[in-house]
Amino acid sequence: MQLIIYFGTYGSTEEAANKLASFLKADVLNGLTKPKINVNNYERVVFGYNIHGGKPNKSFLKYYKRFQRRYPKMPVAAFIVAADGNRKGDYLSQAAQLLPAGSPLAFVGGRLDSINAKGLSKVIIDNCLKAFKSNDLPLPKLDEEKLKDFSLELKEKLPQF
């Protein structure tokens, strides 16, 4: 059994975590709720996090550092959610430096909407959405095919005990 712990702000990461969980038959936890769980009951932990300001979610980074100290031998994987697909290579490189070598990684895109945003973030996202629409550009979205492919990779690379 696998566990997915996600860290997101506006809903795309949660959506991706739940879709991936449906493919893997995995348990899902919102990392922002600071879950207390014994991960030794799982074969692997898959982390999902969003990008904010070009960097991984701060709550994820903090949680992962503690996780790594507590469970140094636990196999991990990660998926990254971001509406800016142009920087996909940068985001994957950041993740590869953070996680153990060979850990499965995926960039799965991300939605751009302001439903859960507040204040300045809401204004910025709304302005971005207007720019996309006025320039007839497609809106960023989660890539369900990437999630399916990632689930297949995770199934193939499940550690043997």
pLDDT digits (tens, 9 = 90+) for 104-154: 999 999 877 777 778 888 888 788 888 888 888 878 889 999 999 999 999
Per-residue pLDDT tens for 14-70?
999 999 999 999 999 999 998 788 899 899 999 999 998 889 999 999 999 999 999
Could you give the count of Cα atoms lying within 13 Å of 142 in the half-sphere of its Cβ? Answer: 20
Q: What is the residue extent of each domain of the chain?
A: 2-112+140-156
Cβ–Cβ < 8 Å for 50, 110: yes
Q: Please give the Cα distance from 88 to 69 (Å, whole number).
A: 28
Q: Tell whether domain 2-112+140-156 is in CATH 3.40.50.360.
A: yes
Per-residue pLDDT tens for 92-108?
999 999 999 999 999 99
Output the pTM of the full model.
0.89
In angstroms, what CA-CA distances link 111 with 55, 62, 81, 105, 138?
17, 24, 9, 19, 11
Q: Could you tell me which residues come within 8 angstroms of residue 143 by beta carbon, excluding any fewer than 6 positions away?
A: 108, 109
Residue 161 reports pLDDT greater than 80: no
